[in-house]
Structure 1
């Protein structure tokens, strides 16, 4: 299993859905929700009715959360897809054992309502001890799971394609006396979870697009930029010159070792203190929430479809795991 990911600026972006199947077989390409409505946007910044005082927003939901998989739901879908695919391959007479999905290590500072940490580290005690590293340190890449060795017949049954260069195929081949389904066993599992062999496992593309877009919009908003500037001035008082917390979090110097350096700990400690002094998280979270609420309203019809499909996918995954 890969080691715990380092806390870095990448945590401010959404983590992709990583389905534990052979390379090229994790998911499919179609996403009807993306065709239903392209994201629309309004140039005028949204109003923020109230700004709470927050050191951490990890236990605060965001409007888009209802249209995205929570950590536990993501694991359920991954486990169901792996089980369904394995069961299909067993029917074809193959001993197919992909790495089993398991909950990834999550720091005590990890958000409870989302997969990704949009606002970076928010626990002053953890930052003082571990800086921008994961709790316990970062031992490195670690051992990667072995690649599955697939025979041509197994590849055909798995992907529905006879040509190994083809990602998926229409199926129809006969393997061990059974007819291969559309897109193979991967497609059969996807059909069970989404209703279509070429459905999209995980979050809808439109929801992901809005999650990224609203994060960028909230960072560029004048109200967030102003609190970033105040934070930057606060950091200078401690002798550190960073334009915003994203720059401090993403400092490449933190990648030099498995544990934080003394300077990293000083920067992280100052970062936490300046976040508290300026109410950085409270402002950023409030602005971000306002952008998300407006994005949902601007794409209301498509978002309603996404929410229905997401619930159906989780329900199907739960049923599959129950046998």
Structure 2
């Protein structure tokens, strides 16, 4: 493991090697806005006003700050194992009419194929307007996400079996045992309070993160995982750069669509 192990106290310090090949959340947001615009244009052909006004585009690396469990002690004390909410309850919920649902999804609310027709008699596209928008944006090329997933899965499997990562977990287990809790793996802590009152969940999450910081669990797992990610990236050769280039083309198309809107 040629790269040094850095002490990590919050998720913002986690920088995965695969992130070099992942567009920013802001760039991916443009793709969501373009998909919304294309879906709305399609829906208008069928006399439907698409009522979704914003699309939350999940980032490829969403959740990476919790890849090794809770990290920030203060955040764990406030939120427990739950991730801090980024939007108000109910925001972004879609409540379409039956016709809108049919046009956008290509199925009736009962699950039957859409029967709505445009003024010129054209049927709803296969998969609905949402699928048509997806195809116009992506075409048949969506190679980046499977490759990123491949790197993350391969590195994770190897990290789980790595003696350095396992030693860090053993140190965490001993720290938790000193506090009166017997666990076989770090993930067992969250599972043990999965249905417990919120106060108990927060207390366990805080202790979990405190022990992780004390033994530098996250720093060690991140260093080991990163080494395996770099190895997986090297094995893929030019496949990741080519997939990223295709993704950049997608973002350029989306930017053009949003700009025309």
Give the TM-score normalised by the residue count of structure 1: 0.65
Task: State the match for 1:30 in structure 2.
Answer: none
**Corresponding residue for residue 248 of structure 2:** 311
| Structure 2 counterpart of 1:115 | 62
The answer to whether structure 1 residue 237 and structure 2 residue 160 are counterparts is no
Which deviates more, 207-216 or 127-136? 127-136
User: Offset at 1:99?
Assistant: 5.8
Deviation at residue 142 of structure 1 after TM alignment? 6.4
Distance 1:90 1:57, change over 3 A: same
Secondary structure of the residue aligned to 1:254 is coil
Counterpart CA distance in 1 for 2:242 and 2:203 is 47
**Deviations, residues 169-225 of structure 1 (Å, cap 9, x unaligned):** xxxx9721275686453344224322x2x554x952232232233223223322111
Aligned partner of 1:71 in structure 2 is: 25
Aligned position for 2:199: 260
Cα deviation for residue 315 of structure 1 reads: 2.2
Offset of residue 255 of structure 1: 3.1
State the aligned residue count: 252
Whether the 8 Å CA contact 2:51–2:94 is kept in 1: the answer is no
Rate the CA distance shift 1:274–1:156 in 2: closer, same or farther, 3 A: closer
- 2:120 alignment partner, one of 177, 181, 185: 177
**Which of 151, 164, 176 lines up with 1:210 in the alignment?**
151
Whose helix proportion is higher, 1 or 2? 2
2:136 is the counterpart of 1:192: yes
Q: After TM superposition, list the pairs within 5 Å mapping 1:1-323 onto structure 2.
A: 47-98=1-52, 100-102=54-56, 114-116=61-63, 117-135=66-84, 145-151=93-99, 155=102, 159=106, 165=112, 175-177=118-120, 179=122, 183=126, 185-194=129-138, 196=139, 198-200=140-142, 204-251=145-192, 253-257=193-197, 259-261=198-200, 264-322=201-259, 323=261
Equivalent pair of 1:75/1:103 in contact (CA under 8 Å) = yes
The residue that corresponds to 1:26 in the other structure is none
* Whole-angstrom distance in 2 between the partners of 1:211 and 1:260: 33
Q: Distance in 2 between matches of 1:181 and 1:199?
A: 23
Work out the CA distance in 2 between the residues paired with 1:214 and 1:166.
42
